[in-house]
Structure 1
Amino acid sequence: MWRNESESGTSLDEVIEQPNPPNTGMGELSEVCPICLESYPIDVLSFHASTCGEGMDPAHHSDAASMTRTEEMPGPSVQRLPATVSAAWANEVDPRKACQLFREELLERNYECPRLFLSIDLFDAEEETDSSLISFFKMNNVNWAAPLKCRLRGDAAVGQGVNRHVLSMAMQKLKTGFSINLGCVALTSLFEGEMEHRVPSAAAVLRESNLFEMAGRMIGHSFLHGGFGFSGLSVPVVTLLTGGSTDTAASALTLLDCPDLDHRETIGFLKNTQLTAQETTSVTDLCLSWDLPVPTSTNHDWLFQELLSHAVLHRVRQPIKQIRKGLKETGIWPLVSNRPDVHPILFPREKNDELNSQTVIQNIHWPQPKSDSDEDEDDAVPLEKVGLVTGFLRQFIEEASPKVLRDLLKFWVGWELLTTNLEVEVVTSKYPVALTCFLKLKLPSHYQTYEKFHQDLMMALSSISSGFGLV
């Protein structure tokens, strides 16, 4: 369930098709494009937004990026995002610091805007939860830089930890698929292919339902709130998404970028010095179906590139435009278009996104003895117990698989993104709990063996899909 200013429900039919509000007939209204700052009639602004920023004159773009506010134009009462906020992020050498500066300034400028509210009922079926997420991110005419408040019905959790948990859930669904039935399968995946070579699905129903535009909003919104980038995309797809040319994207293509295994095998025949009769027939049939010349003894290399470009880039041209449009609507496009060095942060490689034990341990603030503590001595945990339990935690992290480490961080802070200043406290309690807003993990002091500690902590981690206790 989502709410923006007022609560309302949405059926699955409304999730799949949410048209833009019609013109009210008050004359030809116009809006200012937040990218180029030009005024356009409302009925053509949507089309313009899908291409704005591509091929823009650099000097014009620089001027647009330096503006801090736009002139109010007559039109619907909708909050609009500024093109950008200052030059600080543009001049920052460190790309991660530039991202942080951009986020902080954009969110600060929209701090007093009507907040966005997203509520997830933990007792809903998975299909209903996914429907709520889709409904929220398919909302039109939304200021995505407005303050965000997420709520988990059925859980006592409140605060930023809940926001992190919900954004993590949305990004995970975007990777693995949504439990909505669009007439073919129960699980609908927007991306296909293998790790590091995923491309948008070519299914027409996904394009017609504007689900890729929703995907762009999810990616931009998560990034805007300091969350995950979207890892594992094909490099040529990232090139097109971030405003690169088709020729540059095509030059980076490999066979692994082709998600259709039959097409991949057929196109791969052209790497052979000589084709068998059966291979020639297969390649010829594919060329004719795509209106391309048939193979000859001299055009194998050229034809290989043309077939591969058609199999990967041509089929996902419209989905990429929709994703880019969704990214622009979240307000992050000035950063993306002006800072190519942030692209690996927004669209990281999965191998670089993997957690390891030592990195997690290095970011933990371990308990230290306090000689001047005001804590009641009757409630204080003896130092030997603190040392024993924190030693168990260190052993748990060192032996954990990448998946268990992700679950631990999600339990600890609300999402799987590694955070500095992780806190550990050993307390008198029965089970492990997490104060996700404060990045604090509270561990019971009663453990005498690692086996019991491991059992209870794994039980706690299994609860992350249905809530995560105190925040």
Structure 2
Amino acid sequence: MDLRDTPADRERAILSFYKMANIDWACPLSCTLKGDPAIGDGVMRHFFETIMSKIQHGFEINFMPGGTLLFEGEKDHLIPSTSQLLFESDFFLVAGRMMGHSFLHEGPTFAGLSPAIMHVLFGGSPETTTIEIADCADTDVRDLISMLESSKELAAEDKTKITELAVSWDLPALTSQNRMWLHDKLLYHAVIGRTWKQVKQLRRGLKETLIWPLLTERKDTIPFLFPRSSDMQFTPEMILEKVNWPVHNEDSEVNLEDQCRLTEFLRRFIENSSSNILHVLLRFWVGWSLLPRYLDVEVVECTFPKSNTCFHLLKLPGHYKEYLAFEKDLLAAVWSTDSGFGLI
């Protein structure tokens, strides 16, 4: 990956790699970042964090206005985009390969997929899928379907809109007798019917990475590949319990007073940070937003915070006297990972 390219060009390079046919995704992976001196495991972590972030939050390539979002909806109810262009471009095949490839290398996974989609993805009958109204990503369609749940008399305008939606999906018009039946059919089509081809393409991509037998024979592994969003939230306590705080000795680059002040600043930063900020801090610290067995800290003589991701090592400059100045520079550093390893 060339960090000197534009974000869109880097995405094209990633997509070109994952569109290649007949690749053994289980073989060892070697990653190189052009334009950045970093080498080692940290680069591989950065690569997998990047690709999984694109699947989770969208590509910047403008196949459509506002970017390219592969999965839509609210947390823990995400469903594949119904865009015909994305399907015809094999984006969901690519997404399946990316997910399986990252899983093979113990990398980040995809959080928040709808249980209804997972049921179908792993061979469950579509007719037995439990679908919630929250699984409907299109809010306008959701509002219309929700009207059918109530026994309240509908306005003529609402009846017309529901009938137009039903007819556009080859379903009969709304009547007083088919109200709840039509509710179930519309919800099924909105969540399963319109995404069925995308789910099949996603399944094909996962199968090509050779993790499918594990997922189908050991159902308890599926939550590791598709965790709930709530399971991916970090708390300050989760981070702090992994930190190995520096121990002062005669060879330390900074004196004991500066070392104590900087470690106190870092502790305060972690304790006051949201889950989102802790995610980007961890990504800066180790290369991806997964908790390792340990997190090392070192106070050194340098200008800005930096990290050695291969060794889970965060290096803090010892010159800060005020917390606000430290917080400002650390935030600038952790948000810089898309352009390299702490290059501000």
- Same topology, TM > 0.5: yes
Residue 224 (structure 1) aligned with residue 97 (structure 2): no
Q: 2:224 aligns with which of 345, 358, 366?
A: 345
- State the distance in 2 between where 1:181 and 1:382 align: 51
- State the distance in 2 between where 1:459 and 1:180 align: 25
Partners of 1:155 and 1:469 within 8 A in 2: no
1:346 deviation in Å? 1.1
Note closer, same or farther for the CA distance 1:294–1:459 as it changes in structure 2 (3 Å cut).
closer
Partners of 1:425 and 1:443 within 8 A in 2: yes
Q: Percent identity?
A: 46
Partner of 1:260: 138
Partner of 1:427: 300
Q: 1:322 aligns with which of 201, 204, 211?
A: 201
Q: 1:440 aligns with which of 292, 305, 313?
A: 313
Note closer, same or farther for the CA distance 1:214–1:379 as it changes in structure 2 (3 Å cut).
same
1:284 deviation in Å? 2.5
Q: 2:75 aligns with which of 192, 195, 201?
A: 195
List runs of 5+ in structure 1 lacking aligned partners: 1-119, 371-376
- State the distance in 1 between where 2:316 and 2:257 align: 14
Residue 360 (structure 1) aligned with residue 233 (structure 2): no
Partners of 2:295 and 2:312 within 8 A in 1: yes
Q: 1:406 aligns with which of 279, 286, 293?
A: 279
Residues 114-153 of structure 1 correspond to what in structure 2 (within 5 A)? 120-153=1-34
- State the distance in 2 between where 1:290 and 1:457 align: 52
List runs of 5+ in structure 2 lacking aligned partners: none
Partner of 2:56: 175
Partners of 2:253 and 2:299 within 8 A in 1: no
AA aligned opposite 2:2? D
Partners of 1:190 and 1:212 within 8 A in 2: yes
Residues 28-47 of structure 1 correspond to what in structure 2 (within 5 A)? none
Note closer, same or farther for the CA distance 1:447–1:260 as it changes in structure 2 (3 Å cut).
closer
- State the distance in 1 between where 2:83 and 2:253 align: 60
Query: Deviation string for 1:225-245 (max 9, x for gaps)?
Result: 111111122221122222222
Residues 47-66 of structure 1 correspond to what in structure 2 (within 5 A)? none
Partner of 1:335: 214
Partners of 2:76 and 2:111 within 8 A in 1: yes
AA aligned opposite 1:297? S
- State the distance in 2 between where 1:443 and 1:416 align: 20
TM-score by length of 2: 0.93
- State the distance in 2 between where 1:433 and 1:186 align: 33
Query: Deviation string for 1:113-144 (max 9, x for gaps)?
Result: xxxxxxx1111112111100100111110000
DSSP-derived class of the 1:151 partner: coil
Query: Deviation string for 1:385-437 (max 9, x for gaps)?
Result: 32221111100111112222112111100111222211112223333221101
Query: Deviation string for 1:11-30 (max 9, x for gaps)?
Result: xxxxxxxxxxxxxxxxxxxx
- State the distance in 1 between where 2:332 and 2:172 align: 60
Note closer, same or farther for the CA distance 1:404–1:186 as it changes in structure 2 (3 Å cut).
closer
Partners of 1:157 and 1:469 within 8 A in 2: no
1:314 deviation in Å? 0.5
1:369 deviation in Å? 5.2
1:222 deviation in Å? 1.2
- State the distance in 2 between where 1:361 and 1:212 align: 37
Residue 238 (structure 1) aligned with residue 118 (structure 2): yes
AA aligned opposite 1:459? A
Partners of 1:434 and 1:441 within 8 A in 2: yes
* Number of residue pairs the alignment of both structures matches: 342
1:157 deviation in Å? 0.3
Larger relative contact order (Cα-Cα within 8 Å, sequence gap ≥ 6): 2
DSSP-derived class of the 1:259 partner: coil
- State the distance in 2 between where 1:293 and 1:181 align: 36
- State the distance in 1 between where 2:150 and 2:100 align: 43
Partner of 1:42: none
Partners of 2:58 and 2:67 within 8 A in 1: yes
TM-score by length of 1: 0.69
Runs of 4+ with deviation above 4 angstroms: none
- State the distance in 1 between where 2:155 and 2:330 align: 59
CA RMSD of the aligned region, Å? 2.0
1:469 deviation in Å? 5.0
Residue 210 (structure 1) aligned with residue 90 (structure 2): yes
Partners of 1:241 and 1:321 within 8 A in 2: yes
Partner of 1:63: none
- State the distance in 2 between where 1:449 and 1:264 align: 50
Residue 395 (structure 1) aligned with residue 274 (structure 2): no
1:380 deviation in Å? 5.2
Partner of 2:42: 161
- State the distance in 2 between where 1:436 and 1:286 align: 52
AA aligned opposite 2:116? P
Partner of 1:60: none
1:351 deviation in Å? 2.2
